[in-house]
Structure 1
Amino acid sequence: MLTHEQNDLLTQTGPGTPMGTLFRRYWIPALHASELAEPDGDPVRIKLLGEELVAFRDSDGRLGLLDEFCSHRTASLYFGRNEECGLRCAYHGWKYDVDGNCVDMPSEPEGTTFRQRIKQRAYKAVEAGGLIWAYLGDPAKEPPLPSLEWMGLNPEKRFVSKRRQFSNYLQAMEGGIDSSHVSFAHRYNLDNDPLHAGTEGNKYLKADTRPKFEVAESDGGLLIGARRTADEDTYYWRITQWMMPWYTIIPPFGTHNPMGGHAWVPIDDDSCYAWSWNYHPTQDFGERELDALQSGDGIHVKYKPGTYDPLADKANDYLMDRAAQRRKETFSGIAGIAAQDFSLQESMGEICDRTKERLGTSDAAIILARRRLLAALDDLESDDLPGLAPEHTHVRSASILLPKDVPFQEGAKDVLVVKPGENFYSI
């Protein structure tokens, strides 16, 4: 249970807030590169950490990320013309380059130096791994890009989606590090979901609904071990990597199914982007597997046309089917792994009131993740924040059988690191 003050510290990420300042120390997954596919293409609105921005790719292919509202009369630059290496406001024609410099001011007299005194707020944006990444922090403290394994793979080996979730980032992220809910929320779908099926680990998940959690700090954040009994001599461990400030890597389901993970990026305090990815380190996706991903199976979703909003939402009760719930086709009556998660997370309200919680032993990872985030607020200027160094994110999760007398972080040490050209380990 948190105090109101602690809950506010953790959940408020806008400009000038402590957590917002912390998050601005990290690179942010902002857009699919395909959203800005062509030079001089359509600008795109994007809201990150409470800031309303507009992104564009200029005539030379450079990426721009500007304050959405023109410095002149605050008209939205989303309606602007992307032309000749700049974004021109549709109201009076003021034009900005990717660095926020005002390069033309046709509404002012010729020869004026006024434009040289105008600077539109601009942030750095780069393309990597099929995404556009934004850095909203102090340029002098810009860190290297993260080094998530899928970012370095060919497009044929990775699939990345995003969706908008109508809740604060924190309750979404906490769901990502909570392994105990899998035995309930997803128990009737593990054997038939095309990205989870056919693994020995499913039987341990369903047989033991009371996992014992052990949590250890890592360089990037936390190693979260969920322990279930396999037999009298062996434990089944699902080991999740949580990396600052918002990444989770899901323990895989067998070596034939892809590895997966998430990033939970605040849009504002009441909503977030849930980035989800699957990848194979050593093989391309097959046609059937890719079709499942593109159809919204597994940790992905089906969308409302023309949006990144899930088709199943609060307004339609997430397409709940009580008859399917009674038939035990799904535990909650809601179809899809992702929707089963975000429906419950959104049911807590936009910002969960954590003063009302009563946490148990299975919530150990959630408690420690909150503590690690709060502790980082005391070290905002450090260059050694967890998750800043690329090697902090160049890791894997695992599911593994270990003898009962072997600590999970020792027994699984070798399978929690990325080995280029080698597949991950999973039961």
Structure 2
Amino acid sequence: MLKPEDNERLTCVGPGTPMGEVFRRYWIPALLTEELPEPDCPPIRVRLLGENLVAFRDSNGKVGLLDRYCPHRRVELFWGRNEECGIRCVYHGWKFDVDGNCVDMPNEPSESNFKHKVKITSYPTFEAAGIIWTYMGPPDEMPSKPDYEWIRAPETHRHVSKTFEGCNWLQGLEGGIDTSHSSFAHNNNIADKNALRTRAPSPKLEVIKTDYGFNYAGIRNLGNDGNYVRAYQYIMPAQQMRGAMIKWKDGSREEFPSIAGHIWVPIDDESTWVWNFIYSADKLIPFTKEFVLEHETQFGRGPDDLLPGYRLKRNPSNDYLIDREVQRTRTFTGIEGINTQDYALQETAAPIIDRSKERLGTADAAIIAARHLLLEAIKDVEAGRKPRGVDPAAYRNVRGCDKILSLGVDWKEGMKEDMCGCY
């Protein structure tokens, strides 16, 4: 269990909060590039870490991320005209560039220098892997841009998406690094007694702390068939990466070696953007459109599974369209979509779980380790130190992996090459 005061420190993310200040020491995903598709396209509202922002792409293609409210009379810049390298407030015509500088103030005398004294909060951005990233912390603490292997993978070998989750970010992260629940919540064929995670539902966990977070493995003993090892990476503050041996390749059902994962980015204390990525583990094997569609549908976020705003059709308002007959005869949950199953459990527990009432066991070793690292990061930031994982050199070549090893083979040696990047 977790002390109530520590739970609050880990879950609240607004400006000035302990965890909010930790998140503000990292580059985080803000938008998909597709949300601002071309220069001078309509601006869009953004909410991150409890802050209301507006994003626009200027005439030169550069993305601005600004305080949503005009500093004149505090009306929304969402209504603004995106024109000639700036967003112009439609109330009195004040115009701001991507750096937050006021470049025009037409309702003031032409000889006035007032506009040079006005600046709006702006956050730096850059684009990579189909994502617009931002840094919301102190300028003198800005780290190097992220360099995850999945960012470096070519577009033909990578797919990225995002979905809305209506609960605190830590619930999503802790679900993502919890390996034993896959034997239950994601058991989509309860009749298959030979499935690896069904044969061994209680994995032995080993956690190794690193400069970027930790590497850990869930080891499932399959008897004479060896050990099924699912090795994860946890990259601070909110990324999970795992192996994904998916049975799909070029239209046939064959093993397709991939690496997948998520980043949980807080919208505010009670809602989260879940960023989903998958990339090919082999430089010689690009993704097909059919594979990407199959994968996204399997996880519950295919084209037919989404509402506007990247929200799931299966959601609390309709009990995730649970099918009790399917639950009785075929799957543990009766809910379609692997990640939708996670959302059903995480969104309906409470917007912010009371962790003082939990009772954790040995299967929760990774969750306990993550909490320790996050509390450590809070102390580091409060003391003026850099938290783990801000240096891209620490994590740029790590990846997750699923593999069956012979009994007696140490997973750290047996999977060493598989967990080193190739891009």
Range into which the TM-score falls when normalised by the shorter chain: over 0.9
**Structure 2 residue 291 is the aligned partner of structure 1 residue 289:** yes
Residue 325 of structure 1 aligns with an amino acid whose one-letter code is Q
**Structure 2 residue 251 is the aligned partner of structure 1 residue 250:** no
Partner of 2:186: 186
Farther-moved stretch of structure 1 (341-350 vs 278-287): 278-287
CA contact (8 A) 2:177 2:366 kept: yes
CA contact (8 A) 1:143 1:388 kept: yes
C-alpha separation in 2, matches of 1:311 and 1:300:
9
Farther-moved stretch of structure 1 (382-391 vs 41-50): 382-391
CA contact (8 A) 2:163 2:274 kept: yes
Residue 324 of structure 2 aligns with an amino acid whose one-letter code is R
Partner of 2:29: 29
Partner of 1:307: 309
C-alpha separation in 2, matches of 1:89 and 1:58:
14
SS in 1 for 2:373: helix
C-alpha separation in 2, matches of 1:299 and 1:374:
33
Partner of 2:151: 151
Give me the identity figure in percent: 44
Residue 352 of structure 2 aligns with an amino acid whose one-letter code is I
Match of residue 198, structure 2, among 193, 206, 212: 206
Greater share of strand: 2
Q: Deviation string for 1:45-80 (max 9, x for gaps)?
A: 111100111111111111100000110111000110
Deviation at 1:228, TM superposition (A): 0.6
After superposition, residues 360-379 of structure 1 pair within 5 angstroms as 360-379=361-380
Q: Which runs of 5+ in 2 are unaligned?
A: 247-254
Residue 371 of structure 1 aligns with an amino acid whose one-letter code is H
**Structure 2 residue 399 is the aligned partner of structure 1 residue 407:** no
Partner of 2:209: 217
Decide whether aligned partners of structure 1 residues 219 and 403 sit closer, same or farther in structure 2, where only a CA change above 3 A counts.
farther
SS in 2 for 1:237: strand
Residue 415 of structure 1 aligns with an amino acid whose one-letter code is D
Deviation at 1:191, TM superposition (A): 10
Residue 204 of structure 2 aligns with an amino acid whose one-letter code is K
Match of residue 417, structure 1, among 413, 416, 420: 420
Decide whether aligned partners of structure 1 residues 336 and 202 sit closer, same or farther in structure 2, where only a CA change above 3 A counts.
farther
SS in 1 for 2:124: strand
SS in 2 for 1:238: strand
Q: Which runs of 5+ in 1 are unaligned?
A: 193-200, 421-427
SS in 2 for 1:140: helix
TM-score by length of 2: 0.92
Partner of 1:128: 128
Residue 117 of structure 1 aligns with an amino acid whose one-letter code is K
C-alpha separation in 2, matches of 1:390 and 1:274:
24
Residue 338 of structure 1 aligns with an amino acid whose one-letter code is N
C-alpha separation in 2, matches of 1:65 and 1:190:
47
CA contact (8 A) 2:207 2:366 kept: yes
Partner of 2:341: 340
SS in 1 for 2:223: coil
Deviation at 1:400, TM superposition (A): 2.1
Match of residue 397, structure 2, among 384, 394, 397: 394
Partner of 1:66: 66
C-alpha separation in 1, matches of 2:350 and 2:27:
28
Residue 224 of structure 1 aligns with an amino acid whose one-letter code is Y
SS in 1 for 2:312: coil
Aligned pairs, number: 410
**Structure 2 residue 321 is the aligned partner of structure 1 residue 319:** yes
CA contact (8 A) 2:101 2:119 kept: yes
Q: Deviation string for 1:279-321 (max 9, x for gaps)?
A: 2142222242133245x32363554432211110000000101
C-alpha separation in 2, matches of 1:119 and 1:317:
46
CA contact (8 A) 2:36 2:57 kept: yes
Decide whether aligned partners of structure 1 residues 13 and 402 sit closer, same or farther in structure 2, where only a CA change above 3 A counts.
same
Q: Deviation string for 1:97-119 (max 9, x for gaps)?
A: 01100111111122111111111
Farther-moved stretch of structure 1 (353-362 vs 396-405): 396-405
SS in 2 for 1:185: coil
SS in 2 for 1:341: helix
Decide whether aligned partners of structure 1 residues 101 and 287 sit closer, same or farther in structure 2, where only a CA change above 3 A counts.
closer
C-alpha separation in 1, matches of 2:387 and 2:324:
50
Deviation at 1:212, TM superposition (A): 1.2
Partner of 1:241: 233
C-alpha separation in 2, matches of 1:257 and 1:403:
20
Partner of 1:2: 2
Residue 356 of structure 1 aligns with an amino acid whose one-letter code is K
Partner of 1:228: 220
C-alpha separation in 2, matches of 1:178 and 1:388:
25
Decide whether aligned partners of structure 1 residues 110 and 379 sit closer, same or farther in structure 2, where only a CA change above 3 A counts.
same
